[in-house]
Amino acid sequence: MAFDNEKSGIIVNIGKIGESLSHSIDGVYLVDGLKHNLLSVSQLCDKDNLVVFSSKQCLVVNINTGDVVLRGK
């Protein structure tokens, strides 16, 4: 995986993140050297999720069930 600063990172695993196994996001890369997960808002929305940002957090909510899939800071 390449970054803007011409450095690269190695994908060490591909997994899922979320509030629970039934409400999670699949195909998330764990990249060696990164301190945070990188997610695409458009990809989250393409999977029937609503992404809500506030000054203190970000919520990813499934629009079909209303369940919170992920909370971020």
The pLDDT tens digits of the residues spanning 19-35 come to 777 777 888 888 888 87
Which pLDDT belongs to residue 26?
82
- Residue 36, SS3 per DSSP: coil
**Contact indicator for 51, 45 with CB cutoff of 8 Å:** yes
For the chain, give the mean pLDDT: 83
For the purposes of burial, counting CB atoms within 10 Å of the CB of 69, is it exposed (0-12), middle (13-18) or buried (19 or more)? buried
DSSP H or E run through 60: strand 58-62
What is the rounded CA–CA span in Å between residue 46 and residue 37? 18
- Half-sphere exposure (Cβ direction) of 10: Cα atoms closer than 13 Å: 2
The predicted model scores a pTM of: 0.67
Which pLDDT belongs to residue 1?
60
